Structure formats: structure tokens, C-alpha cells
Amino acid sequence: MTSLRVAPALLTAIGLLASSAAMAQGPYAFVTGRRDPRVIVIDIARAMDPANNFTQNAIVSRVRITPDVPSIDPVRTDAKTVGIRMVPGQALANNIIIPPGGKAYVVDHAGLSRPEEVNSGMPHGYPGAVTILDVAKALNPANNDTTNAIDAIYPSGGGGPAGIVLTPDRQYIIVANSEGIGHEDGASEIGVINLATQQLQHVAMLARGNGGHVSQSAGHSCAEMAINPALIPHDSPNPDWGCFADPNGMSYSPRGGGTLFTANEGTHDVSVINLAKLLAGAPDFEIFRVPVERGPWGIATSPDGTLVAVTNRDDDETDEAGRFISLIDVDKAIAKSPDAELRRIQVGTDDLKGEGRPFSLAFTPDGSKILVANFIAANLSVVDVKQALAGNPKAEIARIPLPVPQGSGTKSQPRAVAATADGKYAIVGGGQANNPGGGSVWVVDLEHGRIVGTVTGVGNEPYLLAITPGL
């Protein structure tokens, strides 16, 4: 593995942005707090000020994505009366996009569930939701820890949503629901939310799988599970996984008149979806499946729309973590070509049997590189796209360790990654579950391959993030 070329470092210390005019400049990172049901807003320039390193000083606000809900725990109000109190809804904010227009679209993996229901066990199998935030309100510190930035909340049309796309005309939100209701497996639902009518328009169903990599156990064929949902695996790992797509990440390409791609963790493949047919409710909206190595999760489309990159995160049948990303040719996928997957690139680890568990990825704005957050390997990979397409085994040109800040747990577990608009920096987020305030965000200088700022106190198992495109 080669290293990025090192040029003379240049870093200007940025002071606190006090005026409202300065506050509007940004850019800002909006990080989903996962088990902390809020979005944490971070001033990226402030995060790079050395005086703020390893502190929470760059956090502008933490805004809630769900209103209060009744607690199911009885509360005694006097010696004889048992009452019910209102508590913050325990959402699981796990994905976010911020297109131009001043709105942030947040995927709530667990909907408006109660804290007792999520914290008592596995936070999977809950009906999901999408929360729309007003970006300007989220940037206002006066709205910290309030619901004031919420514009609307819509049901996702299924359980455990993860992937989200806003159509180019900004009329529809498309949501990939990754879990069945009551189970981590069993999902096929793609929700279509109509913003003009302000409602869930319809739910489309992805095709059923063939059982995955491991043979189904007796009495648990895909046909039998489709008839009897009680047979569906409740959680992973389970060898009977592989019958349902369980779509996670979702991306869009304008090619083919508008095409969606979903990373199907359950069936180890990527769905190719005709957007117009999906919106129209046509039954043949899913036009092809591109097989990949295992359990894809994160997905991104190149800026020119010609490539889709996918992380092969893990295998829900065997619990084996992945170490590859896949590159898919969009035109070949639309044409249903069996060689649509162009390359597999190992990231995060040199060990051929090692576990990197690439979680999410992002293209740099010029499309020349792919940034990969490796959950188990605890590092950031930088992949040169031209070298990858040429089959160069050294296409991973940099691997940058992401250490755990003191007091933030024992593992950094990076999940989220995005590139700033100038392509100079990667913003990476991660942290352990069930460690309130233990998440971190790292600002990585891509030219010099080094961390130039670390923000602490970010959520509880922070998942994905987005960067404001300009206000």
C-alpha cells in the first residue's frame, strides 16, 4: 500500500463564529446520534481549531427528531394513584441527507418507539419514520435539545429504515426499509413518500431471494417463510437468512432516465430500480440484481452517475465481517449485464482473512477517490478510482487510523464518512453503542493523510452524517 504524497502543511486556526452571518457560512456536519435520538450539528471549521481538539466546543446544537411519547412505566403521582408521564421518544436516527434547499431528511430506524422498548433489548424490527428538519433552525443554538427544528414526520412504510433518496424534483422521498416488523430479517419494502400530498403514497416490494450463501434449515424455505412470518429469523446471525432483501443504503443515478440502487444486506446483492416505474406503482419497477461478495450496506453513486460503490459489510448468515468494496457499472447494471460488478477492492486490512467490516463510503466531489469507514479495522481507507478500475491491487492508496479519544470507550468503530465540497477533508463519525456521549467525529486532511481535529461527546453509537451544501 502506498501513501498519499505529503506537501507542506497549512492550517489556519479558526476562531469561534459569533455572528449570525458567520453562522450561516458553514460548512456544518449533521451527525445522527443513533441511540441518542438527536442530530448533532458540528461546525467543521471550529472542529479544526487546535484549541477545540478533543472537546465538544465545535458542537453547535443537538436537535431532537421525535416528539414526546407516553412512557409505559407507571409513575406514582400520590399514595393511591398511578399515572403516565411524557418522555422524549426513543428514535434511532441512523441516516441523513441534506440536499440544497435548507432541509435535512433524517431516517429514524425505530420510529416513535418508547425508550423502554428500545433500551430493553435489540433495537430492531420497529416501524420506521422520516423526520424533516429545518436546517436554519437546527443551526440555532436556541433550539438545542428541542423539537423546534422539526418540519414534518412521515412513516417509512416498513421496519428499520436505513437508505433514503430525495428525487431530483424534490417531490418524493424514497426509503429503503431494512427490517421486518418484529424481526431484524424479513424486509422487502420500499416506501414512497409524496411531499406534495404529505403522505406515504405507496409501498413497493422487492423480489424475494433464493436463500443466500447457506442452505436453509428444514421447514424454513423461502416459500415457507413467506407464508408464515413466524419462521423469519428474529436476529442475526442465522443460517436461514437470505430470503428477503433487507435493503439498507440507497443511491440514485440520473442514467437510464433515473435509476435507484439498494444495498441488499439479506440477499448479498444490489437492486436496480427504475425510478419512474417505482413512482407509478408499476409491479416491474425492480429490473435487475447485481450479486456482490456479502451483505452490502453502504452505497454511493459517483458524481458523474456512471459508477456505484458498495461496502460488503458482513454476512448475516455466518456473522463473518467483510473486507471488500464493490464497484458497479451503472449502464451495465441497467442493461442487466452479468458483469456489471467491475471490481472488488480490499480495504482496511492487508490480511486476506482479516475483518475490516467496511461500513459506509463516499466519493470525493471530483469522483477520483472513494472514502471508506472501516468499522472493525478502525481506520479510513482512501481508494483511487482509476487504479481500482484498472485492477491495481494497490488501489487503496491510504489507510488512516482513527484512534479513540480518551474517555470515549475502548473502540472507535467508525461508521460514517463524507467529503467536504472542496474535497480536502473527510469527516468521519463513530463510537460504541450504549455509551451516551461517547461518540466522536474526526476531521481528516486527505492531502496529508492526518487527523486535524477530533470532536467528542457526539451521540450514542453515532451512525451516518451529511454536510451542509451551503446555506
How confident is the model over 360-416, as pLDDT tens digits?
A: 999 999 999 999 999 999 999 999 999 999 999 999 999 999 999 988 888 999 999
Q: Which pLDDT does position 139 carry in this prediction?
A: 97
Q: Which pLDDT does position 87 carry in this prediction?
A: 61
Burial of 120 (0-12, 13-18, 19+ CB in 10 A): exposed
The secondary element (H helix, E strand) that includes residue 226 is helix 222-227
Question: Is pLDDT at 125 greater than 70 in this prediction?
Answer: yes
DSSP 64-99: ESS-EEE-SS-EE-SSS-EE--EEE----EEEEE--
Digit-coded pLDDT (tens) for 47-102: 999 999 999 999 999 999 998 766 544 444 444 444 555 666 678 999 999 999 99
Question: Is pLDDT at 182 greater than 90 in this prediction?
Answer: no
Mean pLDDT of 337-342: 98
CB 420 within 8 A of CB 44: yes
How high is the mean pLDDT of the chain?
90
CB-based contacts of 197, cutoff 8 Å, min separation 6:
none
Element counts in the chain: helices (H) and strands (E)? 8, 31
Q: Under CATH, domain 25-72+86-467 is a member of which superfamily?
A: YVTN repeat-like/Quinoprotein amine dehydrogenase (2.130.10.10)
Domain ranges of the chain: 25-72+86-467
Residue among 399, 450, 446, 441 at smallest CA distance from 424: 446
Q: Which residue is it, cell 409501498? A: 203
Burial of 214 (0-12, 13-18, 19+ CB in 10 A): middle
